[in-house]
Amino acid sequence: MLERGFPEVSPHEFYRDLFPEGSLQSAEHDGKGNLIATQIRPSGKGRTKQWVVDDSLNMLDKVIGDEFGLIPPITFYGKTHTKQNAHELYAVAIDIDYVGKQQLKNLLKQFGNGVQLRPTYLVSSGKGVHAYYFLKEPVQLYHNLEDTLAELKEAFIRRLWNDTSSIRPDSPDITGIYQGFRCVGSQSKLGADFPVKAYKMSDNRYTLEDIKDSIPNCKVDLSVLTEKPKKEKSKLSLGEAKKLYPEWYQERVVEGRPKKKGTWVCNEALYEWWKNKIFTEVKVGGRYFSIMALCAYGLKCGISERRIRQDAYSFLEHLESLTDDEDNHFTREDVKDALKALKADNKLLSTMASREWIEKQTKVVIPPNKRNGRKQEQHLQLARGIRALKEQMGENVVGGGRPDKAKIVEEWRTAHPEGTPKDCIADTGISKNTVYKWWSVGEAL
């Protein structure tokens, strides 16, 4: 289909071209990054695996020929495909889906006559294509560049994915810069007989400016890319203060009444909810972990350690009463041991706090997401708890409802001191209802 003089290139050649010899790590600590290849298993058939591909590219064979392998055009430090570990961007890859024969012809024509920027490679991905624009120089993936890069990429996707290139021009997939793509040499959506193939379109390599210039009216500001990232200001938010001085924080929360009424009651509800679960649903095999989970919830909700300990021991009798095997009693020692979680570091605490972990360790079904009846109720309880917690920690957002228009009315009144509500309604277009609502608020000042 693509035989118009564009040579097909083997997976090894493709990735060697993208990551030239010497660009990846070859010695243990040479300061260079590596590729991460991810293999996704169809659900139920084992876990997702990730491989580190170094400068020799030997590990590529792990995903070539496989069902579903992903490789992003990025090098990483470390062993996992995470934003944190991302090091350098080597190419901008654009996914265009629902490309039929005619759309492909259109695309090739536009690449040929300069209407669209001609990619370095075009990769067939099954029902669509991936256009790879290799970069002259890899771009350092500092975290403060993320938004800029994402913006540029989105503009570029919208430019390439249009009614001539796709059967569905209206719903482009806006893939992020960290997104992996089906790797060259693995199977496509259409199965084993249709592997993902790469075709060389040009020897061109680009800069981000080249890409920006190819998009008409593109307003993305690339200047941050040339600046070094600023050091983050060290500010001590309430949330950080909590981590650093947990005892002070908890005394403050428990003994000094919090300013906003409802919030900590709501938080406590989450903790109480779990206590109820321990009574009603925890069985042998999940007893020890249910106490650990109590610690996690307690800390999250700002309950004092003393109270958590008290509550933990209060479950001792009940949990021991569940014992069905003389060799498997639940003792004071077990509770004591589980309570060590209170002193655990943050990392352990956050693993414990995840719904999945608690479910697995305690055998209590914490409803995944089948939205019916009381399961949904619990789902929201959790969401509300977390939201309330954020608010309490001073993160000041603003969740929940629709934003109000108090400010608009207020500003209009300052600009028109003699104005009447009627005029305000006409000027601002806000309904009279809303205007009246905020009118009196302004009056009070």
Partner DNA sequence: CAGTTCGGTTGATCGAAGTA
Partner DNA sequence: TACTTCGATCAACCGAACTG
Q: Which residues bind DNA (CB under 7 A)?
A: 38, 40, 48, 50, 70, 80-84, 95, 97, 125, 150, 171, 173-182, 189, 355, 368-369, 371-372, 376, 379-380, 382-384, 386-387, 390, 397-406, 420-422, 430-434, 436-438
Nearer to DNA, 182 or 277 (CB): 182
Alpha carbon separation from 361 to 309, 337, 367, 381 (Å, rounded): 20, 16, 15, 21
Give me the least distance between CB of 327 and DNA, in Å please.
35
Secondary structure element (H or E) that encloses residue 191, with its range? strand 191-195
Give me the least distance between CB of 1 and DNA, in Å please.
20
d(CA 196, CA 423): 64
Alpha carbon separation from 298 to 294, 317, 341, 387, 400 (Å, rounded): 6, 20, 11, 16, 24
Give me the least distance between CB of 339 and DNA, in Å please.
25
Nearer to DNA, 380 or 415 (CB): 380
Count CB atoms within 10 A of the CB of residue 268: 16
122: its two tokens = 């075009």
Alpha carbon separation from 99 to 17, 124, 197, 199 (Å, rounded): 26, 10, 15, 16
Nearer to DNA, 257 or 422 (CB): 422
Give me the least distance between CB of 408 and DNA, in Å please.
8
Give me the least distance between CB of 431 and DNA, in Å please.
3
Cα Rg, the chain, nearest whole Å: 29
d(CA 338, CA 331): 11
Nearer to DNA, 247 or 370 (CB): 370
Give me the least distance between CB of 347 and DNA, in Å please.
15
Closest listed residue to residue 182, CA positions, set 61, 1, 38, 13: 38
258: its two tokens = 């919090």
Which residues, including other chains, have CB under 8 Å from residue 427's CB and lie 6 or more apart? 412, 416, 419
Nearer to DNA, 145 or 339 (CB): 145
Residue 107's identity, in one-letter code, is L
Nearer to DNA, 306 or 432 (CB): 432
284: its two tokens = 């042998």
41: its two tokens = 């298993």
Nearer to DNA, 242 or 335 (CB): 242
Nearer to DNA, 128 or 330 (CB): 128
Closest listed residue to residue 303, CA positions, set 331, 275, 261, 340: 275
Nearer to DNA, 238 or 383 (CB): 383
Residue 89's identity, in one-letter code, is L
Give me the least distance between CB of 336 and DNA, in Å please.
30
d(CA 120, CA 139): 17
Q: Are strands 121-124 and 129-140 parallel, antiparallel or unpaired?
A: antiparallel
Give me the least distance between CB of 228 and DNA, in Å please.
22
Give me the least distance between CB of 111 and DNA, in Å please.
21
